[in-house]
Amino acid sequence: MIRVFSAFVLVGLGAFLFQIAGQHPEKAWQAYLVNFILWSAIAQGGLLFSVVLHVTKARWGRPLQGLAESFAAFFPISFILYLLLFFGRAYIFPWLGGDLHGKEGWLTIPFLFSRDAVGLLILYGLGFGYLYHGLKLKRIRGDASEKSREALRARLSVIAVLYIMAYALVLSVLAFDLVMSADPQWISTLFAPYAFVKAFYMGLGGLTIVAALVRIRHREAASLTSSHFHDLGKLFFAFCLLWADFFYCQFLVIWYGNIPEETSYIIQRTMTLPWSRLAWTVFILSFVFPFLILLNKQVKTKPRFMIGLCSLVLVGIWLEHYLLLSPSLNPKADSIPIGFADVLITLGFLGLMAMAVRFALAHFPELIPVQQQEVK
């Protein structure tokens, strides 16, 4: 298993380096950026699941929380990946040297990188803090006094709340800096919320996949009943709708307002070839499919099926990220410039993510919801 993933990583790395060496380094960096945003989002959103459940004191998802926390293992990787992004700046920031419509103060490489780095550090720091205390809580369960446990829980809650805030703010800044800035003239106030809701949507997708795998692996041993999958599925469904809603909220307002500064952006992406094709694909993969399918109750409880569906959705979201960035990066493109290399690079990231999660689960078995540890 582990070998397969490391193979993925190597392949991805290879493809990436090959691209960089070749005459299209920009392609490599674009793929890199898209994947960086996507996989980091999965990790951040995944952990958020656990955090939210903790804050709302919801009982129903306890066994899933551990799995969600395992995503935090990708944080350090994500941070390193982010730092590497610096070397691709020339290719991923089309506004460099362009007309910034008075945004010069905000869109400068040093400022941008430093503020985002700080943001990520805070977010990931809090993430780890949460993870740490969470594990501690699980470890000392049973023995230590109720009092010390209470203290821990309290601290956990504080961190959790902070994490939620950081999540919203940091992902907003990232969305503005890495994605929205691609077209410096364009703004949409909902863009940031759209981004972090999407991240949670993806996180839930990732979580569903992992949970399903665990379920398949441990069979009945896993304390994941079909009702868990049902609830998780419902949540996934809800966020599918919310994501679509946020898209619609932006699309409608801009369409109705008919102000070129705003419309040109969506026209380019959704109404003109070649990108419109991509837009429809995203719409079908990440909304139509899950929406129609998840209306049904049974499928939600079928792990294998859910793996397939969630992967589809994630592919859709990958394309969506690509759709947001690529038109600004390749304005002249007359066909969608997705190549084999992009696939390989994506595989590489998938490998990284998988290894991270596996690592976490291997080192902290208490994260895995299996029968022997009673779920309170």
Partner 1 sequence: MAVEKCVISLFDDETRAASAIEALRGSPWKLERVHSPIPSDKILNALKLKKSRVGYFTLAGGIIGFFSGVGLAIYTGIQWNLIVSGKPVVAWIPFLIVGFEFTILFAVFGNVLGLLFQTNLPEFQSLRIYDQRCSGEHFGVLASCAEGEENKLMAFFQEKGGEARLI
Partner 2 sequence: MSGMTYAQIEQTVLHTLRPAPLKYWAVVALTFLGLLIGAGCWAYQIAVGIGVGGQNIPVVWGTYLINFVFWVGIAHSGTLISAILYLFRAGWRNPIARAAETMTVFAVCIAGLFPFIHLGRVWMVYYILPYPNERTLWPNFQSPLVFDVVAISTYLTVSSLFWYTGMLPDLAIVRDRATGLRKRIFQMISLGWTGRHEQWRHYTRAYLFFAALATPLVISVHSVVSWDFALGIVPGWHSTIFAPYFVAGAIHSGLAMVLTLIIPLRRIFHYEAFITENILDNIAKTIIFTGLIVGYAYLVEYFLAWYSHNIVEQESFRWRAFGHYSLQFWVMVICNTVVPLLFFFRKVRRSIPWLFAISVLINIGMWYERFVIIIGGVAHDFMPNAWGLYSPSIIEYGILLGSFSMFFFLFLLFVKHLPSVSMTELKEGIHQGGDHGR
Partner 3 sequence: MVDLTRRHFIKILGIGSLTFAPGCTSRPEKNLFSNVQAPEDMVTGKATWYASTCRECPAGCGILAKNKEGRVIKIEGNPLHPVNQGRLCMRGQAGVQGVYNPDRIRRPLLKKKDGWQALSFQEAEAFLKEKIDAATQKGENRVHMLTEVVGRSLSALFDDALHKWRSQPPLVFEPFAYESLKTANQRVFGLDGLPSYRMEEADFLLSFGADFLETWLSPVEYGRKFKQMHAVNDGRKGFFVHVSPYQSLTCANADLWLSCYPDAEVVIGLGLIREAFQHGRGKSLSSELRDALQDISSPFTKDKVAELSGVDLDLYGKLITRLQQARKPLIFGTGTGAIGSNSLQVDTVANLLNTLLDPELGLLEFQNRHLVETASRRSEVLTFFKGLAKEPEGVLLLNNVNPAFALPSSGSPVDVLKQESLFTVSFSNFMDDTSRLADLILPVRLPLETWDEYSGTSHIVSMVQPTMAGLTGAPHLGDLFLRLAYGEKSPAKNFQEYLSIKLFSSGVIKDQKDWVNMLREGGLFEKHASGKPSPQWISGDEVRRTLGSVSPPRNAELTFFAAPSLRFFDGRGANRPWLCEVPDPLSKVAWQSPVSINPQTLRQRGLKQGDVVELRSQWGTMEAPVYETEGVRPGVLLMSLGQGHELFGRYAEGMGTNPFKLLSPEVEPVAGSPIFTVNLTSFRSTGRSLGSAHTEGSQGFRTQFGIHYRLRLAHTDGSKVQHGRKIALTTELQDLGKEEKEQKPGLGMWDFPLVLPLPEGYDKKRDVYPPHDHQIYRWAMVVDLDRCIGCNACAAACYAENNVGIVGPDRIREGREMAWLSIERYLDEKNLKKVTFLPMLCQHCDNAPCESVCPVFAPHHSKEGLNNQIFNRCIGTRFCSQNCPYKVRRFNWFDWKWPKPLHLQLNPDVTVRSKGVMEKCSFCVQRIKEAHGLAKDEKREIRDGEVQPACVQTCPTKALVFGNLMDKNSQVRKLTEDWRAYQVMGHLNTKPAVIYLKKVVQEI
Q: Which residues contact partner 1 by CB under 8 A? A: 248, 251-252, 255-256, 258
CA neighbor of 89 nearest in space, from 65, 116, 50, 119: 116
What is the rounded distance in angstroms from the CA atom of residue 153 to the CA atom of residue 147? 10
Least Å distance, CB 139 to partner 2, is 27
When the beta carbons of 257 and 274 are compared against partner 1, the nearer one is 257
When the beta carbons of 126 and 240 are compared against partner 1, the nearer one is 240
Listing DSSP states for 130-152 in one string gives HHHHHHHHHHHSSSS-HHHHHHH
Least Å distance, CB 241 to partner 3, is 25
Token pair listed for 343? 């696939």
What is the rounded distance in angstroms from the CA atom of residue 342 to the CA atom of residue 336? 12
When the beta carbons of 266 and 279 are compared against partner 3, the nearer one is 266
In the region spanning residues 24 to 63, those forming contacts with partner 2, defined by CB under 8 A, are 56, 58, 60
Neighbours of 325 (CB within 10 A): 20
Selected from 44, 70, 172, 208, the binder of partner 2 by CB under 8 A is: 172
Listing DSSP states for 20-32 in one string gives HHTT-HHHHHHHH
Least Å distance, CB 175 to partner 3, is 22
- What's the distance, Cα to Cα, between the start and end of the chain in Å? 32
Q: Which residues pair with 222 in a beta bridge?
A: 370
When the beta carbons of 158 and 343 are compared against partner 2, the nearer one is 158
Instruction: Fill in the amino acid letter for 185.
Output: Q
When the beta carbons of 185 and 373 are compared against partner 3, the nearer one is 185
Residues near partner 3, by CB under 8 A: 101, 185, 255-256, 258-261, 263-264, 266-268, 271-272
Cα-only R_g, the chain: 21
Least Å distance, CB 252 to partner 1, is 6
Q: Which positions touch partner 2 (CB under 8 A)? A: 56, 58, 60, 101-103, 106, 165, 168-169, 172, 176, 187-193, 241, 245-246, 249-250, 252-254, 256-259, 261
